[in-house]
Amino acid sequence: MSETLRIGITCYPTLGGSGVVATELGKMLAEKGHDVHFITHSIPFRLGRFDKHIFFHEVEVSDYYVFRYPPYDLSLASKLAQVAKREKLDLLHVHYAIPHAVCALLAKQMVGDHLKVVTTLHGTDITVLAQDDSLSDLIRYAINQSDAVTAVSEDLIRETRETLLVDRPIDLTYNFVDKRVYYPRNVSKLRAEFAHVDEKILMHISNFRPVKRVLDVVEVFAKVNDNIPSRLLFVGEGPDLSKVMARVKELGISDRVSFCGKQDDVAEVISLADLLLLPSEKESFGLVALEAMACGVPTVGSLAGGIPELVKDGETGYLSPVGDTDKMARDAIRLLSDGDLYQRMVEACLSRARNAFCNNRITADYEDIYYRVLGRT
C-alpha cells in the first residue's frame, strides 16, 4: 500500500521518550511522503529540520480570567478538530490516553466518524494514572473508543489488560531509534575530558523522577568504583537531582561524578559511556537503553516493566530485581573487567538494535495500522 496519508500527531513535545518517539515517527512518515501535522503546545524538541511534509500547529490556551485552571485539554480538542477539518486529516495519532486520546475523541465527534484515532500507550497513564480512581474510567473509555491502540511493550499490554480490564486488541509497536543518528560515535577527544584512559565511564540519563531510582545509580557506581577506577556521568535533571547530589557528596565521590544537565545530542553523549545504568522501578520500555544499545553501549538495570524485552539479560546487558544494587554492581564489575565479554556484548547490542528495533520496519508497522483503521488494507 503506497497511498499517502494526512496524519495529525499529538504528544508531549518537550519532554521524555514518548515525545522523542512521536517526533521521530512523524519524521519517518514525512520521509515516506505522508503529510504530518504536529498539533502540540510547543514545537517538538527533536524536530530539528525543515521538511515540506511536516507542519506544526500550536495549541494556544485561553487565559480567560474566570478559568481557575487554563483549559489546555479543551483548547487541544478544539485545535485538533480545526486542523483535522481544514487539512482534511485522515487520522489523529495521539501519544498517551490522558489527556490526548480523550481530546482526540472529542475532536472526532466534532469532525465526523471518518476521522480515525490511533492511541499509543507509553506507560504512565497505565502504571500511574490508571491506579487513580478519579481517572481510571476515563482512561478505559479512551482506550476502548480509539480506533486502534498500540503499546510499546508486551508488559504494558499485560498491565493495561490487568489494571483496566480492557480486552480490545492492542498492537505491540516497540519504540525505535533512527540508525542514521544512533551509532557509535568517535568521541575519543571528548572522552579524554571526562576520564583517564584506564578509567571506565558509567552513565545515567533520565528525568530524575522517583520512579527512576537514581539513588541506586549512585550506590552501584560507588561499589564499582571501589573495584575499577571509573567515572559517573549524569545527564538530565528533575525532582531527585538534589538528593542525588547530596548522596554523592556524603559518599565522598564528588570528584568522580559529573552532572551534565539536559543534553540534546544524546547519541554523542551516550557514545562516551562504557555502560548505562537503568535501575528504574517502572519502565514500560526504557528508550534510553535502546539509544545506548544502538551506540554499542550495554545496560545494567532492573527487571522492571518492558526492560527485559529490550535488554537481553546476559547478551546485551544484565538485569536484576529492582533495588538489588549489590547484584547490579557485581554485574557491572564482571562486564567492565572482561574485555572479551565486553566486546561480545557491544556487538550483540549493535546487531539487536539494528534488527529488532529497526526504524523502517516499525514505521511500516504503524502505517499498516493506519491503513487498517481507514479500511484501506
CA 34 to chain centre: 23
DSSP structure class, residue 180: T
Question: Distance (Å, rounded) from C-alpha 74 to C-alpha 71?
Answer: 6
- Which CB atom, from 48 or from 239, has the smaller least distance to ligand GMT? 239
Question: Distance (Å, rounded) from C-alpha 359 to C-alpha 177?
Answer: 6
Binder of ligand GMT out of 283, 309, 331, 367 (CB under 6 A) = 283
CB of 148 to ligand GMT, least distance (A): 17
Q: Does 175 bind ligand GMT (CB under 6 A)?
A: yes
Phi first, then psi, for residue 275 (nearest 5°) are -155, 140
> By C-alpha distance, which of 48, 32, 36 is closest to 11?
36
One-letter amino acid at 367 equals E
- Which CB atom, from 174 or from 370, has the smaller least distance to ligand GMT? 174
Q: Which string of DSSP letters, residue by residue, matches 286-313?
A: -HHHHHHHHTT--EEEE--TTHHHHS-B
CB of 238 to ligand GMT, least distance (A): 8
Q: Looking at 105-113, 185-193, 223-231, 280-288, which segment touches ligand GMT (CB under 6 A)?
A: 280-288
Question: Distance (Å, rounded) from C-alpha 25 to C-alpha 285?
Answer: 16
> Burial, 37: exposed, middle or buried (Cβ in 10 Å; 0-12, 13-18, 19+)?
buried
Site residue total, ligand GMT (CB under 6 A): 21
CA 115 to chain centre: 27
Q: Does 123 bind ligand GMT (CB under 6 A)?
A: yes
Q: Does 213 bind ligand GMT (CB under 6 A)?
A: no
Phi first, then psi, for residue 115 (nearest 5°) are -80, 120
8 A C-beta contact, residue 206 and residue 212 = yes
- Which CB atom, from 123 or from 301, has the smaller least distance to ligand GMT? 123
> By C-alpha distance, which of 257, 267, 155 is closest to 215?
257
CB of 287 to ligand GMT, least distance (A): 4
> What does the longest C-alpha to C-alpha distance in the chain come to?
66
Q: Looking at 42-50, 133-141, 177-185, 278-286, which segment touches ligand GMT (CB under 6 A)?
A: 278-286
Q: Looking at 157-165, 190-198, 282-290, 369-377, which segment touches ligand GMT (CB under 6 A)?
A: 282-290
Q: Does 284 bind ligand GMT (CB under 6 A)?
A: yes
CB of 348 to ligand GMT, least distance (A): 20
| Strand pairing category for 35-40 and 171-172 | unpaired
One-letter amino acid at 201 equals I
- Which CB atom, from 140 or from 212, has the smaller least distance to ligand GMT? 212
Q: Does 301 bind ligand GMT (CB under 6 A)?
A: no
Q: Does 296 bind ligand GMT (CB under 6 A)?
A: no
Residues 141-170 that bind ligand GMT (CB under 6 A): 152
- Which CB atom, from 87 or from 365, has the smaller least distance to ligand GMT? 365
Which x/- pattern over 19-48 shows residues binding ligand GMT (rule: CB under 6 A)?
--x---------------------------
Question: Distance (Å, rounded) from C-alpha 355 to C-alpha 371?
Answer: 24
Name the residues that contact ligand GMT, by CB under 6 A. Answer: 12, 16-18, 21, 122-124, 127, 152, 175, 207, 209, 211, 282-287, 305
